[in-house]
Chain A
Amino acid sequence: MTIQSINGCIGCGECVKSCPTDVLRLDADTGKAVIKYVADCQICHLCRMYCPVDAITISPEKTIPVVVSWG
């Protein structure tokens, strides 16, 4: 998993708004953020950076491979 955990979410929806690939959604029942489409996560860290209560932890082992152009 790229997003390791979401602990202490207050359901403000900032992570949902900041995610460029729609990985996160607010759960209809609890009103808290849930990881919906984990495979789409690009590990951009925007959700973590914009969470006001620092609820999101991104797995430190997962990194984006560096893309090097040919020639």
Chain B
Amino acid sequence: MQVNSKQSIIISALLIFIVLPLLLFYLADVPSRTFLKDSISILTILSFSLMLQQFFLTRLYTKTSQSFKLSQISTIHKTLGYIILPVFLLHPFLLVAPRFFEAGVKPLDALIIMLTSFESLGVVLGLIAWGLMFLLGITAIFRYQLVKKFSINYKAWRLFHGSLTILFMSLASWHAIDLGRHINLSMAVFMIVFVLSGSVLFSWNYVFKSEKLTGAKR
């Protein structure tokens, strides 16, 4: 069977951003928990992994932009974004949700203790990342209104969106590496490699060959 470039991109994306994180999840030396808790962990890990994939579902990554129409890439990017956004926004609540079915600390108390543990760097990073994700989501949903209201170039908005994503992903990765239950060396390397490569891809295109993409004249 002949595999064309489109199929090879889809297969590699599925393998790298869905199969690999799932494999790392199952190979991690972490005691398994209830079905609900493990499902929440898998949902979070897959959302994070698909968020990493977003860097490559843009016009910046020539391999995808040459094989697919930009409108197709844009549709997948937006759809994934709208699926991932609620998962990340609900992340703190999903963490305490299993407490509804267990004895011990009540879900609301657990949430308050968790969100007010400012001594923990991981918690502070998580709170900042949550705020950035909220901003990222809101500015993405209302992008046309923002572009119109502030009379900015749409390309400049893309630069803002990408920069905010890099900032969010860096802090979110740090938060996950510090506090993540299933984060071992291989999972940490997976995250760092894709955050770095996504950041380099973005910076390379917007900083070093910017004129066509940003409209900025240097």
Residues of A within 8 A of B (CB): 4-5, 7-12, 14, 31-32, 46, 48-55, 57
Contact status B179-A14, CB under 8 Å: no
Besides A5-B31, A14-B113, 11 new A-B residue pairs in contact (Cβ under 8 A), listed by A number:
A12-B113, A31-B120, A49-B103, A52-B96, A52-B109, A52-B114, A53-B95, A53-B179, A54-B33, A54-B95, A54-B99
B30 touches A7 (CB 8 A): yes
Q: In the complex the two chains form, is A10's CB within 8 Å of B31's CB?
A: no
Which residues of B have CB within 8 Å of A8? 179-181
A4, A46, A50, A52, most chain B CB atoms within 10 A: A52
Instruction: Please measure, in the bound complex, the distance between the C-alpha atom of A50 and the C-alpha atom of B117, giving whole angstroms.
Output: 14
Residue of A nearest to B105 (CB): A50
Residues of B near A55 (CB, < 8 A) are 181
Whether B198 is near chain A, meaning CB under 8 Å from some CB there, is no
State which size class the interface on B falls in.
20 to 34
Smallest CB gap from B176: residue in A:
A8
If A52-B110, A52-B111, A54-B95 touch, whether A10 touches B123 (CB-CB below 8 Å) is yes
The number of residue pairs between A and B whose CB atoms lie closer than 8 Å in the complex comes to 55
Do B110 and A10 touch (CB < 8 A)?
no
Q: Mark B29-73, 1 if CB is under 8 A from A, else 0.
A: 011010001000000000000000000000000000000000000
Nearest Cβ in chain B — how far from A6, in angstroms?
10
Given A5-B31, A49-B102, A49-B104, A10–B181 Cβ distance below 8 Å? no
Interface residues of chain B, those whose CB is within 8 Å of chain A, are: 30-31, 33, 37, 95-96, 98-99, 102-105, 109-111, 113-114, 117, 119-120, 122-123, 179-181
When the two chains form their complex, are residues B105 and A49 in contact, meaning their CB atoms are under 8 A apart? yes
In the complex, residue of chain A having the shortest beta-carbon distance to the beta carbon of B102: A49
CA distance A71 to B31 in the complex (A): 41
Q: How far is the CA of A12 from the CA of B37 in the complex (A)?
A: 21
In the assembled complex, the CB of B10 is this many whole angstroms from the nearest CB of chain A, namely: 34
- A4–B31 CB distance below 8 A: yes
| Docked pose: A7 CA to B99 CA in angstroms | 17
- How far, in whole Å, are A57 and B102 apart by their CA atoms in the complex? 14
Sampled A-B contacts (25; CB under 8 Å): A5-B30, A7-B30, A8-B179, A9-B179, A10-B120, A10-B179, A11-B117, A11-B119, A12-B113, A12-B117, A12-B120, A14-B105, A14-B113, A31-B120, A32-B120, A46-B104, A49-B102, A49-B103, A49-B104, A49-B105, A50-B104, A53-B95, A53-B114, A54-B37, A54-B95
